[in-house]
Amino acid sequence: MKTFNIPTYYRSPIISRVKAIRSKFDKRKKDFTPTHLDFGNVEFILGRHFGFCFGVENAIEISYKAIAENPDKRIFLLSQMIHNPGVNGDLENHGIQFLQDTKGNQLIPWSEIKSDDIVIIPAFGTTIEIENKLKEIGVDTPRYNTTCPFVERVWKKSEKLGTDDYTVIIHGKDKHEETRATFSHSKAYAKSIVIRDIAEAQLLGKMILGDLAESDFLQTFAGRYSADFNFKTDLTKIGVVNQTTMLASETQEISDYLADIMLQKFGQENSKKHFANTRDTLCYATNDNQSATLALLDQKADLAIVVGGYNSSNTSHLVELCEQKFNTFYIKDEDEIKTHNVVHHFDMHKSELLESKTFIPENRPLKIILTSGASCPDATVDRVIQRILELTNTSADIELALANIKNTFNEEV
Ligand code: SF4
């Protein structure tokens, strides 16, 4: 895979070397077993895959290139580059300004943007309406467009479904930048509707079977369906796509459920004509990170730490998986670890920051599951490791810990 030129402070002395060792022994990325980074007193059990993905590195490379190439110009980002506070903060420190917040609220009026300003499109992509607005102003948007190709792939799939006369069911978070962009691109070609979860798929199922009234549809999905959507005629041929960072198992559940609804409505013979058999549109990074996290669930550990921005969709799903087995702490960086006992962490179910006063248990050796989202720099994970080693008075013989990883995989190959 292509390597990107990103600031060295996002790389890390520990995690980068761990990943290099794993890649050396698993070039085809088939082995999802965790990595044991053992410091004796404390052992970190790392997911096989985590951290910066292709789309994020691409976006970061282009953003810093825009800064370097345009020292005399104003540079704007449509919204957060990725969902990581450290990366966005660093871009702001380099003079980049955000035009909108993550929910699409305007922070700087369009009227202030001039044709010679630089506007960077983030990895999530943007809506056709915003693309057109920037074109009207005369901004050269293709120059610094960091839209991830895996997001564009979803748009293409939606277009294809629309061309074949299917309505597109988008499994995603309707306020998320990527889903707003996908909805916009999808509705240009197809009747489209955004659903959040399996509960909403079930409501849709009832509507398809005629068990719910139009008023329920209009109320439940207000603002999340395309213009002139007719819930009687536009739900007879459907296909599912998703936000690239959703939980794979939930998208599968939704697809299976809706396929079964079409079978009930149209019968075995005809159901295939009414349900497009699309595979999910998750990106490779979401699939790899979720599979690697599922492999962590086979391990025994005292706690789990997931590092990432609190508005990061892909990170939240890793937390959801870890919570199935471990006492899990979702932290944005090492600064959230206050003392041996006290940690500030995010409760994504209630959307609130919590303070826990029981963090690191006393038993030794301590085993900690550790992973991070696709927008989290490895350097941040390194600093979390260093902070825990410091709080547990563990001497960090990194060379020995890395040599042990090499020995493990040497023995296996
Ligand atoms: S998580 Fe996937 S879709 Fe999103 S930027 Fe990364 S590679 Fe692209």
For the chain, the average pLDDT equals 94
Q: Both tokens of residue 71? A: 């020292």
Domain borders along the chain are 8-53+285-412, 54-144, 149-282
Assess whether the C-beta atom of 54 lies below 6 angstroms from ligand 1.
Answer: yes
Selected catalytic residue, list 43, 131, 178, 320: 178
Is 8-53+285-412's fold the same as 149-282's?
A: yes
Mean pLDDT of 401-408: 92
Q: pLDDT grade, residue 4 (50/70/90)?
A: very high
Predicted local distance difference test score (pLDDT) of residue 271: 82
**Residues 6 or more apart from 96 whose CB is under 8 A from it?**
63, 67, 75, 76, 77, 120
Determine the distance separating the centroid of ligand 1 and the alpha carbon of 224, expressed in angstroms: 23
* CATH entry, 54-144, from 3.40.50.11270, 3.40.50.720, 3.90.1150.10, 3.40.50.2300: 3.40.50.11270
Helix (H/G/I), strand (E/B), else coil: 79: coil
Determine the Cα–Cα distance for residues 78 and 133; give it in Å rounded to an integer: 12
Q: pLDDT grade, residue 412 (50/70/90)?
A: low
Predicted local distance difference test score (pLDDT) of residue 82: 84
DSSP 73: S
CB 391 within 8 A of CB 337: yes
Q: Which CATH architecture group holds 149-282?
A: 3-Layer(aba) Sandwich (3.40)
Predicted local distance difference test score (pLDDT) of residue 175: 94
Predicted local distance difference test score (pLDDT) of residue 194: 98
Query: pTM surpassing 0.95?
Result: no
Our answer to whether residue 178 is catalytic in this structure is yes
Mean pLDDT of 9-34: 93
Which amino acid residue places its CA nearest to atom 8 of ligand 1?
A: 55
Mean pLDDT of 297-312: 97
* Residue 302 pLDDT > 60: yes
Assess whether the C-beta atom of 55 lies below 6 angstroms from ligand 1.
Answer: yes
* 41-88 per-position pLDDT tens digit: 999 999 999 999 999 999 999 999 999 999 999 999 999 888 899 999
* Residue 318 pLDDT > 90: yes
Mean pLDDT of 365-393: 97
Predicted local distance difference test score (pLDDT) of residue 168: 98
Assess whether the C-beta atom of 314 lies below 6 angstroms from ligand 1.
Answer: yes
**Residues 6 or more apart from 363 whose CB is under 8 A from it?**
302
8-53+285-412 belongs to CATH 3.50.50.60: no
How far apart, in Å, are the Cα atoms of 31 and each of 34, 200, 297, 373, 385?
A: 9, 35, 15, 19, 24
Helix (H/G/I), strand (E/B), else coil: 310: coil
CB 282 within 8 A of CB 23: no
Closest CA to 142 of 235, 62, 231, 24: 62
